[in-house]
């Protein structure tokens, strides 16, 4: 019995010595987060000596603000403006709205120079269902410039009359500008609500009020501006959409009706890039 007891005591003593020789005391690591970077400071004591281990992890995934109401100020859109022309030019000539010889050829646009610029004062996104389904709305200005390929087009007012003026054939620029103050309202679907640069889409409608319109003709240093509504519709209602492809955002719009009250049937549309955080 004494032999067994002595053997057990000897084994316990040996294990204690081994544990003392290889003793390591670990402490809970300190973690510091700086933006997308995580710094881990781990301290351990081994054989009576203190050692510090530092580890840096960088996360490329940017987390999005997930508050129920998010606001983005000063959003910019840059794109192209055009219209779908279904006008009856024979009837427009008979009514006196356009002059002799004016057809859809005269209203052909210079696509690269017919631009749409939108300046949104703000846009807000309101959470509806778990940040996946949201209501998106805002307020801003829509600026549309229709640059004519046939620079002979001349607009007259009171009453509106659009004619061909041979004297304008060699001018540098001839365009119609139509500017609206607009309220967009969209249903937004965010497929990656926790990722700042995620994927999603929005669709809805907008209501715009025409606050300025003019024809601008530039010939060298000479500029001629004629301000008038030219029988453009005061209100423009449009279908609108937005596509979020990570760092790239696309937008588009297509009006319910022609932009003219009478005479012509030209339905405006736009497409371009959106610089926004929401």
Stretch 33-54: mean pLDDT: 62
Res 196: pLDDT: 75
Q: How far apart are CA 205 and CA 106, in angstroms?
A: 31
Asked whether the predicted pLDDT for residue 10 surpasses 70, the reply is no
Q: How far apart are CA 247 and CA 232, in angstroms?
A: 37
pLDDT band at 84 (very low <50, low <70, confident <90, very high): very high
Identify which has the larger pLDDT, 12 or 221: 221
Lookup: tokens for 242: 């937005």
Q: How far apart are CA 96 and CA 107, in angstroms?
A: 17
Res 195: pLDDT: 83
Stretch 249-271: mean pLDDT: 98
Asked whether the predicted pLDDT for residue 172 surpasses 90, the reply is yes
DSSP 117-172: EEEEEEEEEEEEETTTEEEEEEEEEEEEEEEBSSTTEEEETTTTEEEE-GGGTT-S
Res 106: pLDDT: 96
**What is the pTM assigned to this prediction?**
0.77
Asked whether the predicted pLDDT for residue 16 surpasses 80, the reply is no
Lookup: tokens for 166: 């041979």
**CB-neighbour burial class of residue 81 (10 A; exposed 0-12, middle 13-18, buried 19+):** buried
Q: pLDDT tens digits, residue range 22-43?
A: 444 555 666 766 555 666 666 6
Res 245: pLDDT: 94
Give me the chain's average pLDDT, please: 87
% the chain with pLDDT above 70: 77
Asked whether the predicted pLDDT for residue 15 surpasses 70, the reply is no
Res 70: pLDDT: 94
Place of tokens 């004519």: 148
Q: How far apart are CA 260 and CA 150, in angstroms?
A: 20
Stretch 131-145: mean pLDDT: 97
Listed range (40-49, 81-90, 257-266) with the worst mean pLDDT: 40-49
Q: Which residues contact 22 (CB under 8 A, 6 or more apart)?
A: 47
Peptide bond into 206 cis (omega under 30): no
Stretch 100-121: mean pLDDT: 96
Asked whether the predicted pLDDT for residue 171 surpasses 70, the reply is yes
Peptide bond into 33 cis (omega under 30): no
Res 21: pLDDT: 47
Stretch 68-92: mean pLDDT: 97
Q: pLDDT tens digits, residue range 208-257?
A: 999 999 999 999 989 999 999 999 999 999 999 999 998 899 999 999 99
Stretch 164-187: mean pLDDT: 97
- Nearest alpha-carbon partner for 113 in 176, 180, 182: 176
Res 159: pLDDT: 95
Asked whether the predicted pLDDT for residue 76 surpasses 90, the reply is yes
Contact 167, 154 (CB under 8 A): no
């Amino acid at each position: 019995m004494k032999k067994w007891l002595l053997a057990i005591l000897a084994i316990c003593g040996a294990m204690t010595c081994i544990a003392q020789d290889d003793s390591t005391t670990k402490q809970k690591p300190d973690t510091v987060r700086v933006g997308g970077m995580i710094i881990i400071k781990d301290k351990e004591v081994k054989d009576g000596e203190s050692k510090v281990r530092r580890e840096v992890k960088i996360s490329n995934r940017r987390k999005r603000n997930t508050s129920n109401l998010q606001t983005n100020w000063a959003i910019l859109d840059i794109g192209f403006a055009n219209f779908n022309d279904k006008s009856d030019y024979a009837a427009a000539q008979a009514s006196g709205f356009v002059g002799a010889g004016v057809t859809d050829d005269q209203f052909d646009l210079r696509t690269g120079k017919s631009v749409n610029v939108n300046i949104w004062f703000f846009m807000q996104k309101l959470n509806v269902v778990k940040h996946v389904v949201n209501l998106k709305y805002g307020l801003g200005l829509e600026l549309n410039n229709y640059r004519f390929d046939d620079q002979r087009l001349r607009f007259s007012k009171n009453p509106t009359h659009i004619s061909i003026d041979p004297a304008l054939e060699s001018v540098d620029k001839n365009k119609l500008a139509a500017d609206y103050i607009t309220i967009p309202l969209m249903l937004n679907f965010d497929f990656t609500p926790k990722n700042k640069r995620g994927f999603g889409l929005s669709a809805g409608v907008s209501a715009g009020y025409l606050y300025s319109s003019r024809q601008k003709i530039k010939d060298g240093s000479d500029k001629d501006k004629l301000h008038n509504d030219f029988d453009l519709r005061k209100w423009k209602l449009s279908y609108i959409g937005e596509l979020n492809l990570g760092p790239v955002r696309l937008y588009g719009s297509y009006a319910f009706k022609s932009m003219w009250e009478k005479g012509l049937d030209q339905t405006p549309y736009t497409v371009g890039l959106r610089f926004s955080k929401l």
